[in-house]
Every structure is written in C-alpha cells, then in structure tokens.
C-alpha cells in the first residue's frame, strides 16, 4: 500500500514537470517569434482579435499594378481658350485605363509643351465612370460647371469628350454632376456628345496607337455616384 502511494506521488510530480517543461517550450517559441516551425504556422493561421477590433469593414487585398506603360491622348486648351491642343502622355498601365485617363486630364498639362493650359477647373474631381455599350457616363463634381479662366465652355466640354472618345469602346459621352444627369452645359446640348475634330488646333506629336481594348465597367463593378 505504501509503495503504491509512493508511485502515485511520483507520477503526479512527473506530470507536473512535463506540463511545466511544455509551457516553457511554448513560451520560448512565442518569444523567439519563429515562423518556420509547425506550431508557429498553426498559430499564424489562428484569428487574433483580442483587442475586440471590428473586422467587418476590413479592406480587401489590393492587387499589384499592371506592368508597363500606356500612351494616351489628352486635349487641353490653347492660350486663347478657343482651340484644343492634343498632347500625348505616357502613364503606368492600369486595370481602369479610361478612369486614369480622365484623372490625367483633370490634372492639366505637366509641361509637355508651351502654350498649353488646363481646359477645366483643376479643383474638379471625378466621382466615377461607367462604360457600357459604347456610352461613357462620367460623374464629376460641381466645379465642372464653372467656366475656367478664358476657356470657352465648348473647349472645356470637348476637351473631356475627345479625351474619352479616343478609346474604341467609347462612341458617346454623357455627363453627370454630383450623380445627377444634366441636359445642357452653358447652353450646349449634351445629347449625342461625340468626338469633335474641328476644335483641335494642333498636336504635340504623331498620333499614338489606340488601345485595342478598354475595360467595360458594368454598373455592378463600379459606383458612378461616388
């Protein structure tokens, strides 16, 4: 009976020692920050939300930008604000080439050539763009409605229209302001806005090869209202 008691005590102490050794080993792994062992890989996959962080609005993984460059045409105003100047600008490739091209147009000239001026108030922002069935719907901020410097409204309007109509998937441009359709722009009818060559005064260089394909942005893939 006494021997059994001694054996039981021995096994209890042995279990305690094994438990302590195991805990120390785990603590060592966590402190070392190892990421190569099986235990570390398992722990790395486990969700850690001890700080009660709300993960419901977490941002999705952002894909890497496309490799290479694209050359697009941008139409700005001349010195008198009565003609369009066509320039070529090389930009990084992107999944939304039409959207980035409008952003570049809103930025204005970047010193590509002299006597080239913004065709629109640089404070104008792009809320969204949707291209479908040959129609590009562009939603802009209300700054677009304001005349800029000595630029005639027709030059502002067709600076945007010509810039978008360079793409094979765009035949007609429709404009929205703050998400609302508008019918006229400083007395200009906005129905059936198409490329207008007779407003182009000059070009800064030879024509560029038009992109063979531009994304068709369905309403489900992009929000044109913001």
Written as one string, the DSSP assignment of 47-77 is: ---TT----TTPPPPPPPPPSSEEEEEEEEE
pLDDT for res 13: 58
Sign of CA dihedral 221, 75, 103, 214: positive
pTM: 0.64
Q: State the chain's mean pLDDT as an integer.
A: 76
How many CA atoms, within 13 angstroms, populate the side-chain half-sphere of residue 133?
2
Task: Give tens-digit pLDDT for 71-117.
Answer: 999 999 999 999 999 999 999 989 899 999 999 999 999 988 888 99
Please determine, for residue 206, whether its predicted confidence score (pLDDT) is greater than 80: no
What pLDDT shows up at residue 113?
84
Res. 20: pLDDT tops 80? no
Bridge-based pairing of strands 126-132 and 84-92 is unpaired
User: What is the reported pLDDT for 90?
Assistant: 95
Return the higher-pLDDT residue of 132 and 40.
132
Structure tokens belonging to residue 109: 């000239």
In the 8-state DSSP scheme, what is residue 43? H
Between 23 and 67, the more confident residue is 67
Local structure of residue 60 (DSSP, 8 states): P
Contact between residue 164 and residue 98 where contact means Cβ atoms under 8 Å apart: yes
Which band of pLDDT confidence, cut at 50, 70 and 90, is reported for residue 202? confident
CA 217 to chain CA mean position, Å: 13
In the 8-state DSSP scheme, what is residue 193? B
Q: What is the mean pLDDT of residues 51-74?
A: 56
Contact 87, 113 (CB under 8 A): yes
- More confident position, 56 or 9: 9
Predicted confidence at residue 203, as pLDDT, reads 76
- Give the bridge partners for 135, in sequence order: 132, 172
- pLDDT, greater one: 124 or 17: 124
Question: Is residue 219 very low, low, confident or very high in pLDDT (cuts 50, 70, 90)?
Answer: very low
Handedness of CA 141, 147, 149, 151 (dihedral sign): positive
Q: What's the CA gap between 114 and 28, in Å, rounded? A: 66
């Amino acid at each position: 009976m006494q021997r059994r008691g001694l054996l039981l005590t021995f096994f209890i102490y042995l279990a305690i020692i094994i438990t302590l050794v195991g805990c120390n080993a785990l603590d060592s792994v966590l402190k070392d920050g190892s990421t190569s062992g099986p235990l570390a890989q398992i722990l790395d996959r486990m969700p850690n939300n001890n700080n009660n962080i709300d993960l419901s609005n977490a941002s999705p993984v952002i894909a890497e930008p496309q490799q290479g460059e694209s050359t697009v045409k941008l139409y700005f105003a001349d010195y008198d604000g009565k003609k369009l100047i066509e320039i070529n600008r090389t930009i990084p490739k992107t999944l939304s080439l039409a959207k980035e091209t409008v952003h570049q147009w809103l930025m204005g000239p970047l010193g590509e050539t002299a006597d080239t001026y913004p065709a629109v108030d640089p404070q104008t922002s792009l809320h969204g763009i949707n291209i479908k069935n040959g129609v590009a719907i562009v939603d802009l901020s209300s700054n677009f409605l304001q005349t800029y410097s000595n630029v005639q409204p027709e030059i502002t309007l067709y600076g945007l229209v010509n810039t978008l109509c360079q793409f094979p998937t765009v035949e007609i441009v429709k404009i929205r302001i703050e998400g609302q359709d508008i019918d006229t722009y400083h007395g200009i009818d906005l129905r059936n806005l198409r490329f207008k060559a007779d407003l182009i005064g000059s070009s800064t260089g030879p024509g560029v090869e038009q992109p063979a394909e531009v994304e068709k942005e369905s309403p489900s893939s992009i929000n044109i209202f913001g």
